Amino acid sequence: MIVGAQIAPSVVLPMEAGTWHVHTPRIVRPAHDSGLSRYSHGSPVAVGELPSIMLVGAMSCLCVAARRSVRGGLNGYVRNSCRRKASVADPTVAGIVVPARKLVAKGRVSAALPVPPHIVRPPYVAEPEAVRGWWNMRIQPKSAEDAVAMRAAGKLAHATLDLAGELIKPGVTSEELEAELHQFMCDGGAYPSDLLYKGFPKSVMISVNEVICHGIPDDRPMENGDLVNVDVTLYMNGFHADTARTWVCGETDDVGRRLISATKEALDAAVAACRPGAPMKVIGDAVSDIADREGFGVVKTLVGHGIGEFFHGVPQVFHTRTNDPRKMLEGTAFTIEPVLTEGSPDWITWDDGWTNATRDGGRAVQFEHTLMITADGCEVFT
């Protein structure tokens, strides 16, 4: 989901203008890097062969609005990072080089797959208005019966990702992968929640390499060395479960493997910090500790979200350091879905309106779980 001008579950949430900002490192490009932009906004990004990009560190803040902001922060919770003390592990400060790599080419997207008529659809399929700004504003603790339904949905979502992991091979297209997962979810009695959510055209989201999230399955064959993220959300017995993992297709380099293991570790550490009474800020701290240690970026504007009978709702879950004092309450269900980046966490959206990719072309990895706060900790449903 996306926050504010740029906050998506790993969604887009309305935010107070001018109360936050992201450190944007100056990107130095070779002179030949000029023709560009299949992207709908943001500064031009090279298409095709990506030249080495040097991120120059120790930048001062470029954001006047952020400097003006007294309180700072995402909806008041995230500190203005201008005042943050720089650490060597911060890629925006340390200065890093994202190696030259071929960017992901956009493929052809075929028609949506049919869902058998007996599968119960979430409300937004018949009534797109039901999503209403994608956001459900009230936190309602889940009952024991709700938890039973979410446990079942989570189990099937977990199994769907297990299948994805088995099918990821060089030469397989993301659409072929989607078709298998679609079938598996329907066979299990679930509706693939992504399909027609805010108009999304496919049944799962598949995001490769520099694509951070919300990738649309298409006819591009996966290549050896690709980092392939599959994000599955399904709707069963009236509840959603949302989960994602990232795999290496074939073999990759050390940084790619480390990016995956660190992101997984970051999610696990964040989950381990969840218990009743814990402030929400422990999540961003746990994720950031690991990202800092490894020298990776954390995407600030893609956030986790409350989930249940709705796909996206409060509480918004930040993965970066914040001063978010909200206390976790027993029965609250939400996702945690950190994205770590090998270069800058700054991102752009392709002109398909969905695909989010890093601005510098560096790879991004995401893992996600749906969980519920219990009496003495939390239960991961996925």
Angle 176-299-333 from CA coordinates, rounded to 5° = 75
Closest distance of CB 347 from ligand MF3, Å:
13
Is the Cβ of residue 214 or residue 321 nearer to ligand MF3 in the bound state?
Answer: 214
Tell me the C-alpha distance between 171 and 279, whole Å: 45
Q: Which two tokens stand for residue 202?
A: 């496919």
Choices 7-15, 39-47, 94-102, 184-192 (CB under 6 A): range interacting with ligand MF3: 7-15
Among the listed residues 6, 7, 8, 9, the single contact to Co ion using CB under 5 A: 9
Closest distance of CB 97 from Co ion, Å:
31
Tell me the C-alpha distance between 327 and 276, whole Å: 7
- Is 324 a binding residue for Co ion by CB under 5 A? The answer is no
Per-residue DSSP letters for 196-242? TGGG--SSSEEEETTEEE-PPP-SPBP-TT-EEEEEEEEEETTEEEE
Among the listed residues 198, 258, 264, 275, the single contact to ligand MF3 using CB under 6 A: 198
Q: Which sign does the torsion angle of CA 340, 341, 345, 351 carry?
A: negative
Closest distance of CB 99 from Co ion, Å:
28
Choices 27-35, 179-187, 346-354, 366-374 (CB under 5 A): range interacting with Co ion: 366-374
- For 67, residues 6+ apart whose C-beta sits below 8 A from its C-beta are 61, 82
Q: Of all residues in this chain, which one has the CB nearest to ligand MF3 in the complex? A: 9
Considering only residues 234 through 273, tell me which ones interact with ligand MF3, judged by CB under 6 A. 242
Asked whether the beta carbons of 283 and 260 are under 8 A apart, the reply is no
Is the Cβ of residue 178 or residue 231 nearer to Co ion in the bound state?
Answer: 231
Among the listed residues 335, 355, 356, 382, the single contact to Co ion using CB under 5 A: 335
Closest distance of CB 242 from Co ion, Å:
4
- Is 301 a binding residue for Co ion by CB under 5 A? The answer is no
Whose CA is closest to 248, among 225, 221, 266?
A: 225
Q: Which two tokens stand for residue 55?
A: 């991120």
| Contact characters 230-269, Co ion, x per CB under 5 A | -x----------x-x-------------------------
Asked whether the beta carbons of 174 and 222 are under 8 A apart, the reply is yes
- Is 178 a binding residue for ligand MF3 by CB under 6 A? The answer is no
Choices 68-76, 83-91, 165-173, 197-205 (CB under 6 A): range interacting with ligand MF3: 197-205
Q: Which long-range contacts (CB under 8 A, 24 or more apart) does 59-64 make?
A: 59/23, 59/24, 59/25, 59/26, 59/92, 59/93, 61/21, 61/23, 62/24, 63/21, 63/24
Closest distance of CB 363 from ligand MF3, Å:
18
Q: Residue type at 256?
A: G
Closest distance of CB 9 from Co ion, Å:
5
Is the Cβ of residue 6 or residue 81 nearer to ligand MF3 in the bound state?
Answer: 6
- Is 233 a binding residue for ligand MF3 by CB under 6 A? The answer is yes
Phi and psi at residue 375, to the nearest 5°: -60, -35
State the residues that interact with Co ion by CB under 5 A. 9, 231, 242, 244, 335, 368
State the residues that interact with ligand MF3 by CB under 6 A. 1, 8-11, 134, 197-198, 205, 214, 231, 233, 242, 312, 337, 368
